[in-house]
């Protein structure tokens, strides 16, 4: 694959196939003709939801092993298979993590999370007109997670003060706040 910059992927080999991630070593031809190796993590993609109810946002605080701490974030989860309907995934994750479904999901943005080494894309939605569902946490982290409800402006303050540092949550919270009342 080539883009207008003159860089071109000329080879790729799988280093590891781990659960839902694939680690590849790509050979990339640079504009001056050199071949360089780049590690690329392939990810199936994910969705995230900024759930708003009566002007409040619903967040989940859960342990995240890569950063070895609890992180306050918007509900999110990976796409389970190619072509999976993102709105179905968004409502599934919302219900699993915070116990609500959104009657209305509005796309806010799509972000690449770590373009330096990973192709993960997260589709972020604003979830409104929430109805109670059945919270079904998956995995140890979700089972021990704490649900947090607060006014959306308070969540914006936590973003600007650095308390909320998760990229998808920062993007979703700021875009939802910029959009105005739901």
DSSP 25-90: EEEEE-TTS-EEEEEEEE---EEEEEEEETTEEEEEEEEEGGGTEEEEE--EEE-SSTT--HHHHH
Q: What pLDDT is attached to residue 138?
A: 84
Assess if residue 2 is contained within a domain: no
- Do residues 61 and 137 share a domain? yes
pLDDT tens digits in sequence order for the chain, 182 residues long: 556 688 999 999 999 999 888 999 999 999 999 999 999 999 999 999 999 999 999 999 999 999 999 999 999 999 988 788 999 999 999 999 999 999 999 999 999 999 999 999 999 999 999 999 999 888 888 888 999 999 999 999 999 999 999 999 999 999 999 987 66
Q: What pLDDT is attached to residue 78?
A: 92
Any idea what DSSP says for residue 118?
B
Q: Choosing from 96, 106, 141, 142, which is the catalytic residue?
A: 141
- Do residues 31 and 70 share a domain? no
Q: Distances in Å between the alpha carbon of 30 and those of 14, 27, 114?
A: 21, 10, 21
- Do residues 117 and 171 share a domain? yes
- Do residues 27 and 74 share a domain? no
Assess if residue 70 is contained within a domain: yes
Assess if residue 1 is contained within a domain: no
- Do residues 52 and 36 share a domain? no
- Do residues 30 and 119 share a domain? no
**Containing domain of residue 88, as a range?**
46-179
Q: What pLDDT is attached to residue 146?
A: 94
- Do residues 18 and 86 share a domain? no
- Do residues 126 and 98 share a domain? yes
- Do residues 79 and 38 share a domain? no
Assess if residue 174 is contained within a domain: yes
CA distance 8 to 5: 9
CATH code: domain of residue 156:
3.90.79.10
- Do residues 20 and 52 share a domain? no
Assess if residue 137 is contained within a domain: yes
Q: How many domains does the chain have?
A: 2
Assess if residue 3 is contained within a domain: no
Q: What pLDDT is attached to residue 2?
A: 52
Decide if 142 is catalytic: no
Assess if residue 91 is contained within a domain: yes
pTM, two decimals, is 0.91
- Do residues 24 and 107 share a domain? no
- Do residues 50 and 123 share a domain? yes
């Amino acid at each position: 694959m080539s883009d207008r910059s003159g860089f071109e992927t000329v080879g790729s080999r799988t280093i590891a196939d781990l659960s839902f991630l694939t680690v590849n070593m790509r050979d990339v031809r640079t504009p001056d003709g050199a071949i360089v190796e780049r590690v690329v993590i392939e990810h199936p993609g994910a969705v995230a939801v900024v759930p708003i109810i009566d002007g409040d946002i619903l967040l989940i605080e859960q342990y995240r092993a890569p950063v070895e701490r609890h992180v306050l974030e918007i509900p999110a989860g990976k796409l389970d298979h190619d072509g999976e309907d993102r709105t179905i995934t968004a409502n599934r994750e919302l219900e699993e993590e915070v116990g609500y479904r959104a009657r209305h999901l509005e796309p806010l943005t799509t972000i690449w999370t770590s373009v330096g080494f990973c192709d993960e894309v997260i589709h972020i939605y604003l979830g409104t007109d929430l109805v109670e569902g059945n919270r079904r946490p998956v995995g140890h982290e979700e089972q021990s997670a704490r649900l947090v409800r607060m006014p959306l402006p308070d969540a914006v303050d936590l973003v600007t003060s650095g308390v909320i540092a998760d990229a998808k949550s920062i993007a979703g919270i700021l875009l939802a706040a910029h959009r105005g009342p739901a």
